[in-house]
């Protein structure tokens, strides 16, 4: 019985240590992206995702080639009107804010991030009481997560660590 308990303990410890290596730490100078739905009804959630996909695509085209957070900040600030034009096409009330915005407690790739104000681009649709989408815009972790490429977890983890190390 003791051997079984010790074995289970060692296996559990091994799993914890292996998962610890797979954590993705969002750098302090990251820029987050968040779209908050008007409500949780199906149409509001679908609208949130449509707007998120279109804005995300445009933002990545804009920041492609930017090699540091200062460049990305400048590009985002200079192109808020482009983002507004995208959301305007959906004919819904909204608010766009780029700056330090409040985020509740969040979990990302095995790491818990405390609630607080983070540099971010936040689009709030209507009343903004629905579930939200969020990711890390810079370094461009959103883009990698939404890639249609078939990438293994090991390749993903290695690429993320390399990407974060560059920024």
Beta carbons of 144 and 56 less than 8 angstroms apart: no
Question: Residue 15 — pLDDT band, cuts 50, 70, 90?
Answer: very low
Domain residue extents for the chain:
27-166
Classify residue 33 by burial, with Cβ atoms within 10 Å: 0-12, 13-18, 19+: buried
Distance CA 108, CA 134 (A): 10
pLDDT tens-digit map of 18-61 = 444 456 677 888 999 999 999 999 999 999 999 999 999 999 99
pTM: 0.73
CA–CA distance, 139 with 13 (Å, rounded to integer): 32
Residues 52-109 have pLDDT tens digits of: 999 999 999 999 988 899 999 999 999 999 999 999 999 999 999 999 999 888 887 7
Q: With contact defined as beta carbons under 8 Å apart, do 26 and 120 qualify?
A: no
């Amino acid at each position: 019985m003791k051997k079984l308990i010790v074995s289970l303990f060692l296996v559990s410890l091994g799993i914890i240590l292996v998962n610890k290596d797979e954590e993705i730490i969002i750098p302090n100078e990251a820029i987050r992206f968040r779209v908050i739905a008007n409500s949780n009804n199906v149409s509001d959630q679908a609208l949130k995702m449509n707007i998120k996909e279109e804005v995300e695509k445009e933002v990545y085209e804009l920041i492609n080639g930017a090699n540091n957070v200062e460049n990305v900040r400048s590009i985002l600030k200079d192109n808020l009107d482009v983002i507004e034009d995208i959301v305007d096409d959906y004919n819904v009330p909204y608010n766009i804010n780029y700056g330090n915005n409040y985020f509740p407690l969040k979990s990302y790739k095995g790491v818990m991030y405390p609630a607080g104000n983070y540099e971010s681009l936040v689009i709030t649709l209507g009343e903004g009481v629905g579930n939200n989408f969020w990711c890390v815009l810079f370094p461009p972790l959103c883009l990698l997560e939404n890639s249609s490429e078939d990438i293994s977890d090991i390749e993903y983890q290695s690429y993320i660590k390399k990407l974060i190390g560059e920024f």
